[in-house]
Amino acid sequence: MSSENLDHLKVAFSTIGCRSNFADTMDLQTAALEYGITCLDFNEHADVYVLNTCTVTNGADVQARRTVKNLRFKYPTARIVVTGCMAEVGFKDCPEACLADAIIGTSRKSEVLAAILGKNIPAPGNDLVSLGSNFKEDLAPLSKSTPAPGTAAQGLAPRARFHLRIQDGCDNLCTFCIVPSARGNSRAKPTAQVVEEIKTLGKIGYDEVVLTGTHLGGFGAEREESLLGLLRAMKKAKVSPRIRISSLDPNDVSAGLIDFIASSNLVCEHLHVCFQSFSNKMLKLMNRRYTMTEAIEAVSYAAAKIKGLCLGADLICGFPQETDDILNEQLTAFKELPLSYLHVFPYSERQGTPATRLSGSIALNKRRERAQTWRALSVERRSDYLKSKLNTEMEIIVERITPDGHILGTSREYASCAVSPAASAKNIKIGRVLKVQAKEIGANKESLICLQQT
């Protein structure tokens, strides 16, 4: 690519939302660097500001609108590019739309890059450019300019692991979710392409790659491929990085997948399962594609089969018609589940979703109270899990080294670790695997204090 005299162009990126959004932003940043563009922090004075939006909740929409309004006020002559899920389904109808120079949907990254470069973009205040999405060309191949782990290239924060988006879109129609409208039908990179990209990332120096997607469990279904088939292909190809699966629905946690993880050192002993509720009635109202019995069977088999497994779950609390009796039913069910932690989300209405038409809305203060209850339980479970790791050896990916020599990282089992300074710390690099032994639980009760193993 030619820099086209763009070496003085300064671009700042900001991301709202999920791992898929962050992966999209990293792809855009890498593409910008290939053009010789300087990437800045979003709080710095730039020529162009790129906001990658989320639209899962109305709160995310408000955050995006407020960000664009503040940007235009603070930097009246800057170019503002709005992309991501909200750009696909609703930003052009917001009052703040006229403040943006381009609104571009979740696919066709070449158009986002064109907007960053200022091609065919009117000056602020003129007619808005709104570029549609065809949901076909958005799963871009791995860039040849992908930086190595620990590399902070022109304003990009150094990465310890690589988040590789291998799938996008979703064919499920959960009543609370706008994602199918924002990201289209499920589609994925071909298995062979993903394997080659993982091999390339290993050669660059990455010891861990996180597989991400909107519905990762649906990987390859459109071409009769599967996530399990992909992992088997990786094992056959002897890829060097360890693999972390970002999240799965309970009905995607198959016995075959569990058996593979248990019998191979390829995949980290960590599964994050998107339960969303522990009540059959709530699951039906959400239009989830499994029952509690099926979900319990899946995670119980995983916990029994995979040694040292860390099991996390997503939970939406305060969904319409979640009575006190249903809340208590879920609390009872949770006690019997082998979960290590929860990611708790108070239900937030999203305009355009069927859930907003359900009766039995829960008051906002009750949603917040229930979220506090669940988060307290999560802290207890997390603490119990960390206790089970004491005096065990683990392999962490080094994420940061503090000025006083402490090494911070995350283990295969998703345990946050702080390693006491060692004489060899100066030879340790971000993104590399380090063997440690857990000695005690940190003061925050959410991490482990470890010693480096020689």
- 408: domain CATH number is 2.40.50.140
In a domain, 47, yes or no: yes
- What tens digit of pLDDT does each residue of 384-408 get? 999 999 999 999 999 988 888 889 9
d(CA 79, CA 75): 9
pLDDT bucket at 3, cuts 50 / 70 / 90: very low
Least confident of 79-88, 154-163, 282-291: 154-163
203 and 288 assigned to the same domain? yes
| Spatial contact of 181 and 87, defined as CB atoms under 8 Å apart | no
| Spatial contact of 412 and 424, defined as CB atoms under 8 Å apart | no
Two tokens, residue 102: 């381009």
Cα first-last separation, the chain: 45
Which residue would you say has higher pLDDT here, 144 or 341? 341
Work out the mean pLDDT of the chain and round it to a whole number. 87
Write down the pLDDT at residue 424: 60
Write down the pLDDT at residue 6: 58
Q: How many CB atoms sit inside 10 A of residue 206's CB?
A: 25
Two tokens, residue 345: 């989300």
Domain that holds residue 117: 10-131
pLDDT bucket at 445, cuts 50 / 70 / 90: confident
Three-state secondary structure of the chain: CCCCCCCCCEEEEEECCCHHHHHHHHHHHHHHHHCCCEEECCCCCCCEEEEEECCCCHHHHHHHHHHHHHHHHHCCCCEEEEEEHHHHHCHHHCHHHHHCCEEECCCCHHHHHHHHHCCCCCCCCCCCEEECCCCCCCCCCCCCCCCCCCCCCCCCCCCCCEEEEEEECCCCCCCCCCHHHHHCCCEECCHHHHHHHHHHHHHHCCCEEEEEECCHHHCCHHHCCCHHHHHHHHHHHCCCCEEEECCECHHHCCHHHHHHHHHCCCECCEEEEEEECCCHHHHHHHCCCCCHHHHHHHHHHHHHHCCCCEEEEEEEECCCCCCHHHHHHHHHHHHHCCCCEEEEEECCCCCCCHHHHCCCCCCHHHHHHHHHHHHHHHHHHHHHHHHHCCCCEEEEEEEEECCCCCEEEEECCCCEEEECCCHHHHHCCCCCEEEEEEEEECCCCCEEEEEECC
Which residue would you say has higher pLDDT here, 37 or 442? 442
Q: How many CB atoms sit inside 10 A of residue 428's CB?
A: 16
In a domain, 108, yes or no: yes
Q: Which of 373, 388, 403 is the C-terminal boundary of a domain?
A: 388
In a domain, 4, yes or no: no
- Domains in the chain, number: 3
Beta strands 447-452 and 270-276, pairing class: unpaired
Q: Rounded mean pLDDT of 239-262? A: 96
377 and 283 assigned to the same domain? yes
306 and 198 assigned to the same domain? yes
pLDDT bucket at 374, cuts 50 / 70 / 90: very high
Q: Rounded mean pLDDT of 240-246? A: 95
In a domain, 146, yes or no: no
In a domain, 63, yes or no: yes
CA torsion angle for 376, 378, 381, 382 (degrees, to 10)?
A: -110
In a domain, 218, yes or no: yes
Q: Residue 1 pLDDT > 60, yes or no?
A: no
339 and 425 assigned to the same domain? no
| Spatial contact of 32 and 20, defined as CB atoms under 8 Å apart | no
Write down the pLDDT at residue 414: 96
| Spatial contact of 380 and 335, defined as CB atoms under 8 Å apart | no
Q: Which of 340, 364, 388 is the C-terminal boundary of a domain?
A: 388
185 and 326 assigned to the same domain? yes
Q: Rounded mean pLDDT of 124-134? A: 38
- What tens digit of pLDDT does each residue of 41-99 get? 888 899 999 999 988 777 888 899 999 999 999 999 999 999 888 888 878 888 888 89
Q: What is the CATH number of the domain that holds 110?
A: 3.40.50.12160
368 and 397 assigned to the same domain? no
Two tokens, residue 229: 């088939």
Q: Which of 108, 131, 154 is the C-terminal boundary of a domain?
A: 131
296 and 187 assigned to the same domain? yes
What is the Cβ-side half-sphere exposure of residue 201, based on CA atoms within 13 angstroms? 31
172 and 119 assigned to the same domain? no
d(CA 286, CA 276): 9
Q: Rounded mean pLDDT of 144-171? A: 76
Residue 224 CB contacts under 8 Å (≥ 6 apart), including other chains: none
39 and 187 assigned to the same domain? no
The alpha carbon dihedral of 315, 316, 317, 321 has a sign of: negative
| Spatial contact of 17 and 44, defined as CB atoms under 8 Å apart | no
pLDDT bucket at 151, cuts 50 / 70 / 90: low
In a domain, 141, yes or no: no
In a domain, 150, yes or no: no
CA torsion angle for 42, 46, 49, 50 (degrees, to 10)?
A: -70
228 and 282 assigned to the same domain? yes
| Spatial contact of 240 and 290, defined as CB atoms under 8 Å apart | no
399 and 384 assigned to the same domain? no
Two tokens, residue 404: 């006083």
265 and 362 assigned to the same domain? yes
d(CA 23, CA 52): 11
Q: Rounded mean pLDDT of 140-147? A: 73
Q: Quick one: how far is CA 49 from the chain centroid?
A: 22
Q: Rounded mean pLDDT of 247-273? A: 97
Residue 187 CB contacts under 8 Å (≥ 6 apart), including other chains: 135, 136, 139, 167, 168, 169, 222
Write down the pLDDT at residue 31: 76
Write down the pLDDT at residue 425: 63
Burial zone of 100 (CB within 10 Å; 0-12 exposed, 13-18 middle, 19+ buried)? buried
CA-based radius of gyration for the chain: 22
Least confident of 91-95, 108-112, 339-343, 383-387: 108-112
